[in-house]
Amino acid sequence: MWLKNVFMSLSQNQALNKLAQKYGFKLGAQTVVAGTNITEMIESVKELNAHGIAATVDNLGEFVYEKSEAIEAKDQILEVLEAIHEHQVDAHISLKPTQLGLDIDFDFCLDNLTRIVAQADEYNIFINMDMEDHAHLKPSFELFDTLAAKYQNIGTVIQAYFYESTELIQTYKEHRLRIVKGAYKESPEVAWQQKKDIDENFIKLIEYHLLSGKFTSIGTHDHHVINHIKQFVEDHDIPKDKFEFQMLYGFRKDMQLDLAKEGYHFCTYVPFGNDWYGYFMRRLAERPQNLNLITKQMFNKKTNTLLIVSLLAFVLGRLSKRKKK
């Protein structure tokens, strides 16, 4: 738990976020981020497609509190849609309401989202609306309800650590859903804190949607969960066209390739852009075992330097606060 708290604190550090934007790719961030621009991202997606793997593309963004920043993010996502359409790659979009202005004004955010979903609908491209922390959960689902009433090319995310996730998955079973464990630090008042409880609910949600819902995206790097789902779908005669496995770009690449070769639908979550630091630290907080995967399989000395710099900055920051007290 302490390691999760460290990474969550790092993910929310705006000074480190700016530092990472400036120096991150010199320190090896390209192992977990598919480029800083659309051209690099499209090349990464084409490489995945060549191995039978689809992509869900995330134009990364954090700490959006100005309308100009949200409009810039909207325009960038529209450019991503144009690139996917132009290159005819097997990819769709994942986006966060806060990046498009939810913390600024609800109607402003809705206008930005509507523009994106409408354009994607014209191109027959799916949009997945990510869910964030609990404070944004209710307005995010209100946005989703409004959009889903008009457009069919939109789905969303259910986070297993929330107590209300069982109710939510029943409410939204007619929609395409990505089911994940959850990556934010949440209060015991709204979310389970123990891994065992979260894991158990995660499996229950997946099984429910596989049996009763629409298309299911299973977001996990946990081979125990994956093996369980393989057996579950076989036992219940669930066709492979009803679900896909999802993992993050740069994590467990061999397993991603193996699952695709086995004939399972597989989709890699492909983040790109300079604003990648908070995303990366939340992935480590979500499942600290990811740090082992990265260290063993992917990270070079430069990327380890990035982690060391971040951790040192965190420790020094804490020491500085104690001295002031």
Catalytic residues: 130, 178
Burial 103-132 (b: 16+ CB within 10 A, else e): bbeeeebbebbeebbebbbeeebbbbbbbb
Give the H or E element holding residue 79. Answer: helix 67-87
Instruction: Name residue 127's beta-bridge partners.
Output: 93, 154
Both tokens assigned to 162:
């929330």
**Dihedral sign, Cα of residue 128, residue 130, residue 136, residue 137:** positive
Which of helix, strand or coil describes residue 52?
Answer: coil
CB 176 within 8 Å of CB 217: yes
For 206, 234, 236, the CA distances from 223, given in Å and listed in that order, are 15, 17, 20
Greatest alpha-carbon pair distance for the chain in Å reads 62
Give me the phi and psi of 32, to 5 degrees please. -120, -5
CB 166 within 8 Å of CB 205: yes
Distance CA(163)–CA(197), nearest Å, equals 10
Distance CA(268)–CA(285), nearest Å, equals 19
